[in-house]
Amino acid sequence: MYNPQLTSEGALKHLLSIEGLPKKNLLQILDTAESFVGVAERDVKKVPLLRGKTVCNIFFENSTRTRTTFEIAAKRLSADVINLNVNTSSQSKGEAILDTINNLIAMHTDMFVVRHSQSGAAHLIAQHLPDNISVVNAGDGRHSHPTQGLLDVFTIRRYKPEMHNLRVALVGDVLHSRVARSEIHALTTLGVPEVRVIAPKTLLPNEVEKLGVQVFHDMKTGLKDVDVVMMLRLQNERMTGAMLPSAQEYFKTYGLTPEKLSVAKPDAIVMHPGPMNRGVEIDSRVADGKQAVILPQVTYGIAVRMAVMAILAGGTA
């Protein structure tokens, strides 16, 4: 079956989404990332794997933090890095995506890391690349943010190795979240038996249970006995779009406070992809508390991205 992410031999060619990524490829990325965690702890944080290669971060949608982690990851692999921020405000219609890509290919780019505000952008680019150039999807619209999904399950695996025994809950705006979709696919692919989503109906996609999750609208029941709580960011547009009345009411019903967290297992870990809205989706006491693993997520994010790039850049003889 045609899979745009894989070569005909089943090796990773592009990283576009966790959905459609076979379990063995997912595990390969996680296992490879383990070695790169060690690299980050040395004085010389570089390995020569991508020396001579050029990685281009094209961000059609702004994000300094994600772009920076990809830049660090590429540089730690000894790659040369180009950063391109393409302004796609409605005023400047500008160059078509594929024209931008073609220009960069002409400048001998070996790998593209792409973020775009539209779902499917990374797939579109992957379809039009010559064979030896890879794409890493750094986030496309609401569809997918695969490296975030990967670093999240990497983090969970580090703290809770018995993944086939876990209860995981995702809390917040699943409807608009590419992070949530990637996390759900990664968890179900790895065989996590219970994946829950907790949100008001206005923030859940139609037929979300078909993704393999249990739906809850109440934090108390949804968080009961969970091992991992994954918070999602709430954006201001949800209030202006008549999906929520106010940030205060959201915090009251779905914000993660120590009281709400207490119904989870006592050793449950709390995660957040960042950046956090303190006092909206998460209480500072939890964000800064013992159960939060938010900062390790960032560290692991670099190792996971190094693993992805190393696997994509390597030959397949």
Partner 1 sequence: MMQLPDSEALLNEITAKIAALIKPNSVIVGIHRGGVWIMEHVLANLKQDIPYGTLDAALYRDDFAQRGLKTELQPTNIPFDVQDKHIILIDDIFHTGRTTRAAINELFDYGRPASITLAVLINRDGAQLPIQPQIVGAAIPLKPNQRFQLSQDSQGKLKLALEKKQDTSDV
Partner 2 sequence: MKVLIKNGHVIDPKNNIDAKQDIYIAAGEIVAVGKPPKDFSPNQTINAKGMVVTPGFVDLSARLREPGDEYKATLESELHAAAAGGITSLACPPDTDPILDEPGLIEMLKQRARKHNLARIYPLGALTQKLEGKALTEMCQLSEAGCAGFTQADKSIIDTQVLWRAFEYAATFGYTIFLRPEEPFLAKNGVAHDGELAGRLGLKGIPSAAESLMIATILRIATETETNIHFCRLSTAEGVELIRNAKNNGVAVSADVSAHHLHLTEHDIAYFNTHAHIKPPLRTIRDREALCRGVADGTIDAICSDHTPVDDDAKLVPFAEAEAGATGLELLLPLTLKWANNNQSSLADAISRITIHPANILGIKSGHLSLGANADIAIFDPEAAWQVSADNLKSQGKNTPFLNTEMIGKVHYTLLNGHITYQNKTD
Considering only 48-56, 96-104, 156-164, 227-235, which stretch makes contact with partner 2 by CB under 8 A? Answer: 96-104
Q: Is 10 in the site for partner 1 (CB under 8 A)?
A: no
Can you name the residues that pair with 112 across neighbouring β-strands? 56, 135
Which 3-state string (H, E, C) describes the chain?
Answer: CCCCCECCCCCECCECCCCCCCHHHHHHHHHHHHHHHHHHCCCCCCCCCCCCCEEEEEECCCCHHHHHHHHHHHHHCCCEEEEEECCCCCCCCCCCHHHHHHHHHHCCCCEEEEEECCCCHHHHHHHCCCCCCEEEEEEECCCECHHHHHHHHHHHHHHCCCHHHCEEEEECCCCCCHHHHHHHHHHHHCCCCEEEEECCHHHCCCCHHHHCCEEECCHHHHCCCCCEEEECCCCCHHHHCCCCCCHHHHHHHHCECHHHHCCCCCCCEEECCCCCCECCCECHHHHCCCCECHHHHHHHHHHHHHHHHHHHHCCCC
Residue 64 binds which entry of partner 1, partner 2, none, CB below 5-8 Å type-dependent: none
Mask for 14-53, x = binds partner 1 (CB under 8 A): -----------------xx-xx--xx--xxx-xxxx----
Q: How far is the CB of 37 from partner 2 (least distance, A)?
A: 30
Residue 108 binds which entry of partner 1, partner 2, none, CB below 5-8 Å type-dependent: none
Q: How far is the CB of 96 from partner 2 (least distance, A)?
A: 7
Nearest alpha carbon to residue 107 among 67, 80, 77: 80
Whether the Cβ atoms of residue 199 and residue 171 lie closer than 8 Å to each other: yes
34 vs 194, beta carbon nearer partner 1: 34
Q: How far is the CB of 45 from partner 1 (least distance, A)?
A: 9
Please select the residue that binds partner 2; options are 87, 206, 240, 246, rule is CB under 8 A: 206
Q: Is 1 in the site for partner 2 (CB under 8 A)?
A: no
55 vs 180, beta carbon nearer partner 1: 55
Q: How far is the CB of 64 from partner 1 (least distance, A)?
A: 28
Residue 11 binds which entry of partner 2, partner 1, none, CB below 5-8 Å type-dependent: partner 1
Q: How far is the CB of 148 from partner 1 (least distance, A)?
A: 22
226-265 residues in contact with partner 2 (CB under 8 A) are none
174 vs 310, beta carbon nearer partner 1: 310
Chain residues that interact with partner 2, rule: CB under 8 A: 4, 19, 96-98, 116, 118-121, 123-124, 128, 140-144, 178, 181, 205-208, 210-211
Chain residues that interact with partner 1, rule: CB under 8 A: 11, 31-32, 34-35, 38-39, 42-44, 46-49, 310-311, 313-317
